[in-house]
Chains A and B, each alone.
Chain A
Amino acid sequence: MSNGNDPFEQRVRSALDARAHALDAHTRAKLATARECALAHTPWWRPWWPAHPWVPASAVAACAVLVVSVVLVRGPADPIGGLAQTDTEAALELLLAADDASALDAEASVQLEAMLLLEEGEPDEG
C-alpha cells in the first residue's frame, strides 16, 4: 500500500486537482445552487409560505371575490324555477283582480237565487 508520497500518485493528485479547479462556470453555478438549496433544506412549497403569508391570503381572497361575483351575476341557484313561480303568482294575482267584480256578482246571484228558492218553497211546505 502506497503512503501517498509516490511521485506518480502526487502527479495524479495534482492532475485531478487541476481538473476540479478547471470546471466550467455553468457547472460551478449549479453546484453553488445545489449547496444553497441543501442548506435551506426546505420543501418546494416552503420558500414562499411562511415568509410571505400574504401570498396564500391574497389567493384565498381572490377566490372568495370570484365566488361572490358569480353568485351575484347569476342570481339564485334555480333561476328558471324562481322566475316561473314568480310569473305564476303574478298571473294568479292579475286573474283574481280581473275576475273580482264578476266573482262578486256571481256570489250575489247565488245568494239571490237561494233566497228566491226559499221564498218559493214556503207555500209548498204549507
Chain B
Amino acid sequence: MQRFLASVETRAYCIARFATRNRDDALDLVQDAMLKLVQNYAQRDASEWRALFYTILQSRIRDWHRRQQVRNRFRHWFSWSDEDEEDAPDLLDQLPAQASSDPAVQLDNAQFVTQLDQELCALPYRQQQAFLLRAWEELDVAETAQVMACSESAVKTHYARALEKLRDKLEALQ
C-alpha cells in the first residue's frame, strides 16, 4: 500500500490540481482519497487499488465542485471576489528538468508545458478528467467509466472532444 500510494500521489495531486485549480484543495482531496482507500479497501487485491483510488478521488472532486457551486452562488449574492482564493498558475517554477541541452528545445518544451496547463484548465471538467485518466493514468475505457461514474460511450465522447481541442490548440507548438 505504501508503494502504491507513493507511486500515484504526484499524478493524483496534479489531476486534482487541474480540477480544482487550487493547491491546498487538491492536497486535501488527495489526502482524503488516500485515507478512505486505506480504511476501506486495504484488504482488497492490489490490482484493484488504482481504480478504487481514482474512483474515490473523482467522487471527492465532484463533491468539491458541488460545494463550490453553492459557495459561488453566495459569492454572487454578496458580490464577493474570489480572485485571491484561486492560485495563480505556478507554471514557471514547475517546468520540467530538460533532457536536452539545446536552449531552443528547452524553450519549446517549456512553452508546450505552459500551454498544455492552460488548455487543460480551460477544458470542461468531464472532458479534462476523462483525458487525464485515459491518456495519463492509462486507465482503459471501462475503468474510466467506473471511476467517473458514467457510461463507456460518455467516456469515449469526452476523451475524443478533449483530444480534439488540445490538438487544435497545441499542435502548432510541436
Contact = CB atoms under 8 A, between A and B. Distances in A.
A8 B6 contact: no
B31 A34 contact: yes
Interface of B: 1-2, 5-6, 9-11, 13-14, 23, 27, 30-31, 34-35, 37-39, 93-97, 109, 112-113, 116-117, 132, 135-136, 138, 141, 156, 159-160, 163, 166-167, 170-171, 174
Contacts of B166: 8, 12
A20 to B, nearest CB: 4
B11 A20 contact: yes
Contact of B135 (A9, A28, A38): A9
B27 A2 contact: no
B111 to A, nearest CB: 11
A39 B5 contact: yes
A46 interface: no
A39 B167 CA distance: 40
A22 B95 contact: yes
Contacts of B1: 39
Instruction: State the main secondary structure of chain B at its contact with A.
Output: helix
A8 B162 CA distance: 13
Interface of A: 1-2, 4, 8-9, 11-13, 15-24, 27-28, 30-32, 34-35, 37-39, 41
B163 A9 contact: yes
Contact of A38 (B13, B38, B93, B167): B38
Contacts of A38: 5, 31, 34-35, 37-38
A45 B30 CA distance: 22
A18 to B, nearest CB: 3
B13 A16 contact: no
A34 B33 CA distance: 10
